[in-house]
Amino acid sequence: MEMTATLPAWDRRWALFLDVDGTLVDIERHPDEVRAEPELRRSLATTARALDGALALVSGRSIASIDRIFAPLCLPAAGLHGLERRDADGRVHYPAGYADRIAAARAELVGFVQSAPGLLLEDKGAALALHYRNAPALAAECERHMALAEQAAGTDFHVQRGKMVLELKPSGQDKGTAILAFLEEAPFAGRRPVFVGDDLTDEDGFRAVNARAGLSIRVGPPRDGSAAHIVATDVAAVRDWLNASTESIHVPAS
């Protein structure tokens, strides 16, 4: 894929989608400590106004965690890699029918977790995470119970394995599906999508905007196999580019 290293000139007809960690803020050792500086919040708010509100954050974090970083700014957002999405009117959307099925899976796990000290069941709303960091000897038991929980949830769920954690989540949701869902609604509909991200999980977003004749911008050194068409060197370059938006496009008074 041909890559260009120049960030595109601003256009007020864009729908802008921005990843958070590694894109707007540098990745920290303690992700819970990340906060957006006032300058970044101002710049996002101004850019959002210039785009008539067509700016959304698209992150692997939960929406609650995104809000904590950018408070008091509250933007349209997709959290947990597209599992939850807050539209421009503030309504939060989850995959259809997920709630009962997560509840069935939770019911399957609760007894086991209560009977085994050291285990932690984290309810993310649209996903369930079983942490066994403090009880590593129970890894196989956790796998077995998570498989039962997956069965209880039914089809279209899958278990994702992390470091000392098993996570049950709905399948078929990613940053790309979240972006496409925004593009069905005002004020995003009818605009040219632009997505900026840095990570492997952002590739779904790059492919989604490419398929809509949009612009895909990847932060960091060029990577083989990336679907992104444009490279931004680092977080600072993205921030400079955001700041430039206010000089390049008319911003209505707030």
Question: Looking at 15, 19, 58, 128, which residue binds Mg ion (CB under 5 A)?
Answer: 19
Q: Does 22 bind Mg ion (CB under 5 A)?
A: yes
Stretch that binds Mg ion, among 11-19, 68-76, 163-171, 233-241 (CB under 5 A): 11-19
Please indicate whether residue 199 is annotated as part of the active site.
no
Q: Are 242 and 55 in contact (CB under 8 A)?
A: no
Stretch that binds Mg ion, among 20-28, 29-37, 128-136, 232-240 (CB under 5 A): 20-28
Question: Looking at 67, 174, 199, 204, which residue binds Mg ion (CB under 5 A)?
Answer: 199
- φ, ψ of residue 174 in degrees (nearest 5): -155, -175
**Angle between helix 139-153 and 98-115 (nearest 10):** 150
- Distance from C-alpha of 89 to C-alpha of 144, rounded to nearest angstrom: 41
Q: Which is nearer to Mg ion, 37 or 123 (CB)?
A: 37
Give the CB-nearest residue to Mg ion: 22
Q: Does 198 bind Mg ion (CB under 5 A)?
A: yes
Give me the catalytic one of 11, 19, 89, 240: 19
Q: Does 21 bind Mg ion (CB under 5 A)?
A: yes
**Which residues fall within 8 angstroms of residue 166, CB to CB, at 6 or more apart?**
129, 130, 132, 142, 143, 146, 159, 160
Q: Are 53 and 36 in contact (CB under 8 A)?
A: no
Q: Which is nearer to Mg ion, 66 or 215 (CB)?
A: 66
Here the tokens at position 93 are 């959307």
Minimum CB separation of residue 21 from Mg ion in Å reads 4
Taking phi over 0 as left and psi of -120 to 50 as alpha, with beta for the rest, 230 belongs to beta
Active site residues: 19
Chain residues binding Mg ion by CB under 5 A are 19, 21-22, 198-199
